[in-house]
Amino acid sequence: MKAQIDELRWFRLHKQFTPVRSDRLIGLAEWIDPDGFADECYYVLTYRDGKIVDMQECPTRRQALRFARR
């Protein structure tokens, strides 16, 4: 468990989200792997009644926007 917690230091989730529709928004996760390389991934979150009901991972912002607008 300690190794898993130590790995979390490489992960940073942006607290700001981009609203796309009344029920969808896009979040961005960034991390730096142990070798020092940065990477990122976008998430399209669909919510209803204040709860997340679906989460889709997209490798680029463009793909996330396209998915969120469907």
Q: What's the pLDDT tens digit per position in 17-46?
A: 889 999 999 998 887 776 777 888 899 999
Backbone angles phi, psi at 37, to 5 degrees: -90, 135
Beta strands in 1-70 (DSSP E): 11-13, 18-21, 24-32, 38-48, 51-58
pLDDT at 3: 61
pTM to 2 decimal places:
0.71
Q: Which residues have CB under 8 Å from 46's CB, separation 6+?
A: 23, 24, 52, 53, 54, 55
